[in-house]
Every structure is written in C-alpha cells, then in structure tokens.
Amino acid sequence: MADTSAKRLLDSDKTGEPAPDVKRGKTDNENGREDGNESVQENVLSGFKTSSVLSDSAREKNIFIHGKVADQDAVVILEKTPIREDSLAELFSGSTLKLEMKNDIYSTYRLQAPPHLNEIKTTVVCPATEKHIKKYQRKESFLVEETEEDYKNITLPHIVKQSFSVQWVYNILEKKAEAERIVYEDPDPDVGFVLLPDFKWDQKQVDDLYLIAIAHQRDIKSLRDLTSEHVPLLQNIFQKGKEAILQRYNLPASKLRVYLHYQPSYYHLHVHFTKLGYDAPGCGVERAHLIADVIQNLQSNPQYYKTRTLYFPLRADDGLLSKFKEAGRL
C-alpha cells in the first residue's frame, strides 16, 4: 500500500533532488524518507542502468524508473521543481529564448534557464525491494468497502502477518535519524508528536508545503484504533501543528488541509499537513479524512471508527485486495 504515505510518497509518492545531490534510500523505510543532508555527494546515478519506466505523469511532470546501481535494484524518481516567485527576475534576465511560433500577439518559445534554476528533484531508493518496485508501478485501483467485521477478519490479520516495519519511524522519534529536520516537537508521551517535512516537499516554497506529524504513542496503527480517549492527542496535534507552521512558514490555519489517510502506507499514527490548493498525493475523498471531522466524530461516538464501514482505494497488486477478493468481498 502506498501513502508518506509516502501515500505518493506517495500512492502516489513523488520525490527527489538533482542528480549530483542524490541521497541513498533507507531500506527499512517503505515511505522512502530522506535524511535531509544538503551536502554535495557522489553522483550515485552515473552508473545507473535503466530497466523500465514504472510510471510517469506529464501533468505532474514526474517519472518513476526501475534500474540497477552497482548490480543492486534501484528506483529513481525524477520530478521537475516548481517555479519560485523569488527567482522570476533571474529567470527572465538569465535565460535564453528560442522562438518556436509567432502568430499575431501570440508567440511560443523554448526557454533555457540557468542550471541552478532548472533542477530536477531526484530520489533514489537503493537497494529497492520488490515492494518498492510494485509501489511505484502504474496499476489499476479498486474501491474497497470495509465493515467492522472485515477489518477484524481480513485487514487486521493481514497487517499483523505482513509485519510492516516502522523502525524508521521509531528512529525519528528517538532522534536516531532526521533529527535536524524536525520543525517542532511536543515530547509528551501521551499527546506529544514530532512535526517534520514530508519527503515529497523540497522546502523551497510553501505552495506545495507538506509536513507530517508523527505521534509518540506507538500502539495506534490507524484510524481504526482511534477512540474518544485519543481526542486530546488529535486536538494537540491539530492545534500545535498549525501554530508551528504559522510561526515557521507564516502560513495560517485557513490555508492548511490537515488529515489522516486510511489505509495508511505505514501503521503508526501520523497526520498530514498540506497547503490548501496543493493537489497532494492521497488528498482525495476516498482516502483522506480531515482531522477536524475525525475529532468531532469521536466526540459524538467514542467507537465511531471501530464500527463504521470505511471505504478506501487499493491497487490491483496490493496483497490486501487479494484477501478481500478471496473472502468474496470484492
């Protein structure tokens, strides 16, 4: 399944940095998070051999490629970076133009921007497992209807059997990794969390702002585990997350979309903070649940998400989808 997570991170997970600054992906991190190191490193892609294009999008200007680096399977994600307002003056004055067509008041050019304004955001996952490769392949999706009984009899056993690793999450919470990327932390063991940029955001502009709040509590897998007892935790994440983003990025709460995924891409409670207007992966109604709605639902019914029928998309190659088919639920 895909979400932060990376859902496209990522689902839809989209990430990266220019080739000379490529970072190696962590093998225990199914969401492909980066360590945030900005230093120039060896170009690990100089010997990259392409095997296949897993998927691409002209609209989102990205491409997901499977290949090998030093005989190890790797997934490379290339994505054009957004044009920043603060670079427009240099972009116009420092670029070269090649005329393609002119008709009355309309003209079309090929603009060659200075190299530092023409970066390609690049993420490398190496060594990549079969799960990583399948995650980024273009696949047909199906909308699944999951009742309370389906969760107990199909979904939960599948989660337990697969033993999806969240060690990379614990590394963040314990400051063993990505400590320098943390924007805000509330260390309280019951309602605390860490807030840090999602790997899909290059942090160069707020138009595509994307941060993740990861709860310190370790016994909450997903939306299904939430009860009214967790309302203080959710309220704390919601309120302090908004305050931290306002202070750090000068973006008010009215410009934020704050939500949880179901199904998530990793089974440890986390909340997504994205800029309203940014079409973030997994922000559609079939997967995203606004945290304000989640809080109100739990206040009205303490067992709301324990008993409610939930709907979510699964890709054709997802093992959970196979389980639903085997049970005659699809």
265: domain CATH number is: 3.30.428.10
Nearest one of 324, 292, 299, 327 to 310, comparing CA atoms: 324
Listed residues 92, 116, 136: the one ending a domain: 136
Identify whether 269 is part of a domain: yes
Q: Which amino acid is at 37?
A: N
Give pLDDT tens digits for 242-298.
999 999 999 999 999 999 999 998 999 999 999 999 989 899 999 999 999 999 999
Is 231 annotated to bind a ligand? Reply is: no
Burial bucket for residue 36 (CB in 10 Å: 0-12, 13-18, 19+): middle
The structural domain count of the chain equals 2
- DSSP line for 46-79: TT-EEEEEEEEETTTTEEEEEEEETTEEEEEEEE
At 97, the amino acid letter reads L
Q: Is 168 annotated as a binding residue?
A: yes
What is the token pair recorded at 29? 């991190």
66, 132, 230, 270: which is the annotated catalytic residue?
A: 270
Name 293's Cβ contacts closer than 8 Å, sequence gap at least 6: none
Q: CATH code at 127?
A: 3.30.200.40
pLDDT category, 61, cuts 50, 70, 90? Answer: confident
Of the candidates 104, 136, 168, which is a domain's last residue?
Answer: 136
247 is in an annotated binding site: no
In a domain, 87, yes or no: yes
Q: Are residues 87 and 225 in the same domain?
A: no
- Whether 38 maps to a domain, the answer reads no
- Host H or E run for residue 94: helix 88-94
Both 186 and 251 in a single domain? yes
66 a known binding residue?
A: no
The segment with the largest mean pLDDT, out of 39-43, 54-58, 203-207, 241-245, is 241-245
Residues 191, 125: one domain?
no
Confidence band of 23 (pLDDT split at 50, 70, 90): very low
Torsion of CA 152, 323, 12, 148, to 10 degrees: -20
Cβ(114)–Cβ(31) under 8 Å? no
Rounded-to-integer distance, Cα 193 and Cα 242, Å: 13
DSSP 194: E
Q: Is the pLDDT of residue 2 over 50?
A: no
Q: For position 316, what pLDDT does the model report?
A: 86
Whether 236 and 222 map to the same domain: the answer is yes
Q: In this structure, are 272 and 196 located in the same domain? A: yes
Question: What's the whole-model pTM score?
Answer: 0.68
Q: Is 158 a catalytic residue?
A: no
- Distance between CA atoms of residues 174 and 195, nearest Å: 13
Q: Which domain holds residue 246?
A: 141-327
Residue 263, marked binder = yes
Q: Is 265 annotated as a binding residue?
A: yes
